[in-house]
Amino acid sequence: MDNDITLGIIGGSGLYDIPSLTNKTEFSIETPFGSPSSKILTGTINNQKVA
């Protein structure tokens, strides 16, 4: 994961498409508790890297 990401957005159902999100990348992770229910989505909003 990119260490320059300084903002995290926690979403639920309905937060599948953010129109201003560019440079989208999705990836899967594994935690000690298992896999999350969704992939991690990173990108850029107004020149701010977000996940």
Q: Give me the pLDDT at residue 3, please.
A: 66
Q: Give me the pLDDT at residue 15, please.
A: 72
Distance of alpha carbon 23 from alpha carbon 30, whole angstroms: 23
Nearest to 45 by CA among 1, 2, 3, 6: 6
Rg of the chain over all Cα atoms, to the nearest angstrom: 11
Domain assignments of the chain as residue spans, ordered by start = 1-51
Instruction: Return the HEC string of the chain.
Output: CCCCCCECCCCCCCCCCCCCCEEEEEECCCECCECCCCCEEEEEECCEEEC
Distance of alpha carbon 10 from alpha carbon 51, whole angstroms: 8
Query: Model confidence over 4-36: pLDDT tens digits?
Result: 888 998 887 767 788 899 999 999 999 999 998
